[in-house]
Amino acid sequence: MHRRTFLSRISAASIALPWLLERDGLLAAEAGRTPVKPAFDAIYDLTPKAPPHGARATAMIDLFQFGGPSQMDLFDPKPLLTKRHAERFPGEVSVGNTAGNSGLVFGSPWRFGRHGQCGMDVSELLPETAKIVDDLCHLRGMQFGTNAHDRGAYLANTCGPTPGRPVLGSWLTFALGSENDSLPAYVSLTAKGGLPYLNEANWHAGYLPNIYQGTQVRNAEPRVLNLDPPPHLAGQAQQSQLALLQKLNQSHYQQHPAELDLQARIASYGLAARMQQKAKEAFNLADEPEHIRRLYGLDNPDTSEYGERCLIARRLVERGVRFVQLLHDGNGDIDWDSHGRIIKGLPQACLRTDRGTAALVIDLKQRGLLDTTIVRWGGEMGRLPTAEGASDHAAWGRDHNGKAGCMWMAGGGFRAGLIHGETDEWGHEAVDGIVTAEDWHATVLHQFGLDHEALTYKADGQSYTLTDGKPARVLHELLA
């Protein structure tokens, strides 16, 4: 009997073996992925590691708004658009849908107000976010480098426009490990409708060892598959089998010391066993007091799905999880991609996310976690100042815009109440305080005590970095 067959027969369910083998690419080769041979002096694990420099942040929650939220309708008001509404736009815009571009100026249908001591502009669509603006570091000068969803998402998550690269969460867990040995270091909270755009690429470790890949957590029970042992393995029987497996694994590793990824794989299987006891507790919201459940909007069907994931993200971070991301599904459950009928779609997206987003920042702050936790809100692109769609204004939308958009961070040493950057009078292009994907990634690593040029993965005689030698600078003007 082969060793793998033996393991799967005696305890596949109890240690989530099939899931882990598939995740590690051992059941089938992953399409489009080229293996990278690691350096032979490396050891891969999730033990906590001190950063080489002083760190302001120890964890991150990424609220990634797939689709491209419209900056001139949410955070960057443009009076000229309102004044020139429905007139011919005087310049040229780069559009993805040429046939659908009307070329007419589209003034925002929504009112703006200035909020907080910082006087940040926020649309009436985001009343809860308006209450936390003094905790936000708001970037109005984002340049995304592309008008395409896939390239924009790759740039936002991996600092490169093509698939196969490690995402930010994988780099952070590779560098720093985990503060909790009973939960994954990196968790991806997906929505009820299914996998998000680009599927598993959103939490993929790329050429890094698979132990640094994110763990998908579903929106419904069971949140993590294969955690429960079958009845005949529960209790002492399982403990005895796990002890035997540990001995077999260690013996196997000693016989194959050159297979450096093996040690990481063994560690991940042990994590799966420990998760049986800890994971369900972390994802169980029943012990949260009623006022916290209301804060996150769990009492409202419009806000409960997203709010629940925000609350789980807080629970994971306070239990030592290094990186948590919230991702939308692929069925338009939260649709920021406003090609048409933005008057209907954008308010729905804001309604579903606004309360949970604000609650997360408030809750982290009141628990003393915001100082060391970065919260990021943003998408992979912005929108254009011109209308896309038919002559019916109610059907108008906005096409993609990679030259301008908004993003904000809170906590983790970013300056609170800061409004950074500016777009032109039309909101078409960033003109001041420009921030690129490379700048942003370099700055996040800096807050974790890491140097984007020094943090390397060595393989095949080559050193890989998150920014891979592209122009990038730490944005010290954003830091407290």
List pLDDT tens digits, range 346-401: 999 999 999 999 999 999 999 999 999 999 999 999 999 999 987 788 899 999 99
Average pLDDT, stretch 96-120?
91
What band does 11 get if pLDDT is binned at 50, 70 and 90? very low
Determine the pLDDT at residue 311: 98
Q: Which CATH architecture has domain 3-30+42-459?
A: 3-Layer(aba) Sandwich (3.40)
List pLDDT tens digits, range 134-144: 999 999 999 99
* Amino acid, single-letter form, for residue 196: P
Determine the pLDDT at residue 285: 94
Determine the pLDDT at residue 457: 95
- Of 99, 35, 92, the C-alpha closest to 386 is 92
- Of 441, 438, 341, the C-alpha closest to 397 is 341
CA gap 445, 52 in Å, rounded: 11
Q: How far is CA 278 from CA 176, 227, 231, 316, 369, in A?
A: 21, 10, 19, 11, 21
* Domain map (residue ranges) of the chain: 3-30+42-459
What band does 7 get if pLDDT is binned at 50, 70 and 90? very low
Residue pair 186/322 in contact (Cβ under 8 Å)? The answer is yes
Average pLDDT, the chain: 86
Determine the pLDDT at residue 260: 52
* Amino acid, single-letter form, for residue 301: P
Residue 130 φ/ψ, nearest 5 degrees: -60, -25
Determine the pLDDT at residue 279: 78
CA atoms within 13 A on the CB side of 269: 26
The distance in angstroms from the start CA to the end CA of the chain is 60
Determine the pLDDT at residue 33: 44
Strand (E) or helix (H) holding 464: strand 462-464
Q: Which residues pair with 123 in a beta bridge?
A: 112
Burial class of residue 168 in the structure, from the number of CB atoms within 10 Å of its CB (0-12 exposed, 13-18 middle, 19+ buried): buried
Render 264-303 in DSSP notation, one character per residue. Answer: HHHHHHHHHHHHHHHHHHHH--TTS-HHHHHHTTTTSTTT
Share of the chain above pLDDT 70, in %: 79
CA gap 173, 268 in Å, rounded: 13
Q: Which residues pair with 326 in a beta bridge?
A: 63, 189
CA gap 257, 463 in Å, rounded: 23
* Amino acid, single-letter form, for residue 64: F
Q: Which two tokens stand for residue 282?
A: 């972390």
CA gap 311, 297 in Å, rounded: 10
Determine the pLDDT at residue 210: 87
* Of residues 4 and 29, more confidently modeled: 4
Q: How many residues does the chain have?
A: 480
Average pLDDT, stretch 394-422?
96
Residue pair 238/262 in contact (Cβ under 8 Å)? The answer is no
List pLDDT tens digits, range 248-278: 767 766 666 555 556 556 655 665 556 666 7
CA gap 262, 37 in Å, rounded: 13
Determine the pLDDT at residue 21: 41
Q: Which two tokens stand for residue 363?
A: 């809750």
